[in-house]
């Protein structure tokens, strides 16, 4: 069987230093929910990827645990350090802290569980991934915190029963599973490209747009796309304490994972109860804006976290 691979992505630049809120964080309107959700501080997101540089200045204090499922680092399960760069970039988009330096993530107070399933060259066995999904579902923090979101910027051509079973189990336990659509797109909206696990109906499959809200030429289009997020020239954390601009649906996915880290505490405080995965999904989709592409390209549209607030304000002006 084929190995699961990092969804290929494009390196646009590596920077030694930076100090800015990345454009993608602005595009998805993350800051509109920061006050009400304490920047997602009660949320734990499992990042299933190449690991993470845990001592990156922007990520220190954000990681609550981790595990290595690969043969890297002599197969040491305790060593989940990133030797590729991809996982560190994804982690920063989700939860790089807001400290006036470097970059900031979509949910800067959310916590990360780092599960390394892809090796230095960016590939991994399907078994490593299913084991990591199961681990994420069973994980409990010091105060009995649970993973509510799994973020997977990886994919392969094979639809395997074991992988699907693990994902279905996670979803039944109330975990939202966010997956990259893939970068095999041909720039046409009417052709279908599928990568798994993204193409499973049960996951939240994320395609990519650029800063002008145009569809990225590389993004997969298919009949299971749920929404799109910024995935071109995305600035985030990288190896050796540096920063990088990368492009790919891999970069769009963590925007949505971070968005869920804000949405879940927000709506659970509003409804005063724990929400099921399907309820969380509907709350996410309520916060999307159609961009005018076909549904097979953009799904429900671009994640725009301030949307429901804007609608409430709009209708309240009519009522008064």
72 is catalytic: no
b or e along 36-50 (b: 16 or more beta carbons within 10 Å of the residue's beta carbon)? ebbbbebbbbbbbbb
Evaluate if residue 319 carries a pLDDT over 60. no
Catalytic option among 86, 89, 255, 293: 86
Q: What is the largest CA-CA distance in the chain?
A: 66
With a CB cutoff of 8 Å and minimum separation 6, the contacts of 107 are 30, 37, 39, 40, 43, 45, 94, 95, 258, 259, 261, 262
Q: How many CA atoms lie within 13 A of 197 on its CB side?
A: 26
- Is residue 138 scored above 90 in pLDDT? yes
> Is 0.85 topped by the overall pTM?
yes
What is the pairing mode between strands 154-155 and 176-180?
A: unpaired
Per cent of the chain over pLDDT 90 is: 86
Q: Which CATH superfamily is domain 4-319 in?
A: Peptidase S8/S53 domain (3.40.50.200)
Instruction: Kindly tell me if the per-residue pLDDT of 190 is higher than 90.
Output: no
Q: For residue 2, what pLDDT is reported?
A: 66
pLDDT band at 318 (very low <50, low <70, confident <90, very high): low
Q: What are phi and psi of 244, to 5 degrees?
A: -145, 150
Of 13-27, 56-70, 139-153, 195-209, the poorest mean pLDDT is in 13-27
- Of 151, 153, 250, 257, the catalytic one is 250
Percent of the chain's residues with pLDDT above 70: 97
Bridge partners of 288, per DSSP, are 303
Which residues, 6 or more positions from 105, have their beta carbon under 8 angstroms from its beta carbon?
Answer: 25, 92, 93, 94, 95, 96, 97, 236, 254, 258
pLDDT of res. 284: 98
CA 179 to chain centre: 7
* Set 43, 49, 176, 247: catalytic member: 49
Distance, CA of 243 to CA of 178 (rounded, Å)? 24
Mean pLDDT for the stretch of residues 210-231: 96
**Residue 164 confidence (pLDDT) above 60:** yes
- Residue 26 known to be catalytic: no
Residue 158: pLDDT band (50, 70, 90) is confident
Q: Count CA atoms closer than 13 A to 226's CA, side-chain side.
A: 26
Ordered by start, the domain boundaries in the chain are: 4-319
Looking at residues 15-39, what average pLDDT do you find? 94
> Residue 220: which pLDDT band, with cuts at 50, 70 and 90?
very high
pLDDT, tens digit, 9 for 90 and up, residues 269-314: 999 999 999 999 999 999 999 999 999 999 999 999 998 888 877 7
Q: What's the rounded mean pLDDT across residues 44-64?
A: 97
Asked if 134 is an active-site residue, the reply is: no
Tell me what pLDDT residue 315 has: 75
CB 86 within 8 Å of CB 38:
no
Indicate the pairing of strand 302-303 with strand 176-180: unpaired
């Amino acid at each position: 069987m084929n190995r699961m691979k990092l969804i290929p992505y494009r390196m646009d630049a590596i920077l030694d230093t930076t100090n800015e809120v990345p454009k993608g964080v602005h595009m998805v309107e993350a800051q509109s929910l920061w006050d009400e959700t304490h920047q997602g501080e009660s949320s734990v997101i499992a990042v299933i990827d190449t690991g993470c540089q845990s001592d990156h200045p922007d990520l220190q204090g954000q990681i609550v645990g981790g595990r290595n499922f690969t043969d890297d680092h002599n197969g040491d399960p305790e060593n989940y350090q990133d030797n590729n760069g991809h996982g560190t970039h994804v982690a920063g988009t989700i939860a790089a802290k807001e400290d006036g330096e470097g970059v900031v993530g979509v949910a800067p107070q959310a916590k990360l569980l780092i599960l390394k399933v892809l090796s230095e060259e960016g590939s991994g066995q399907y078994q490593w991934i299913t084991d990591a999904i199961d681990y994420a579902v069973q994980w409990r923090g010091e105060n009995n915190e649970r993973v509510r979101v799994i973020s997977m910027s990886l994919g392969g051509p094979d639809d395997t029963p074991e992988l699907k079973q693990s994902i279905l189990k996670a979803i039944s336990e109330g975990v939202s599973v966010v997956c990259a659509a893939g970068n095999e797109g041909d720039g046409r909206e009417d052709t279908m490209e599928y990568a798994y696990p993204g193409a499973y109906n049960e996951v939240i499959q994320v395609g990519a747009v650029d800063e002008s809200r145009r569809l990225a030429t590389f993004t997969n289009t298919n009949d299971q796309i749920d929404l799109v997020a910024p995935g071109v020239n995305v600035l985030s954390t990288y190896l050796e304490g540096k920063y990088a601009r990368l492009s790919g649906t891999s970069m769009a996915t963590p925007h949505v994972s971070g968005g869920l880290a804000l949405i879940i505490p927000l709506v659970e405080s509003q409804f005063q109860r724990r929400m099921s995965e399907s309820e969380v999904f509907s709350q996410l989709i309520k916060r999307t804006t159609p961009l005018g592409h076909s549904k097979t390209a953009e799904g429900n549209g671009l994640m725009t976290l301030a949307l429901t607030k804007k609608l409430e304000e709009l209708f309240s002006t009519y009522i008064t």
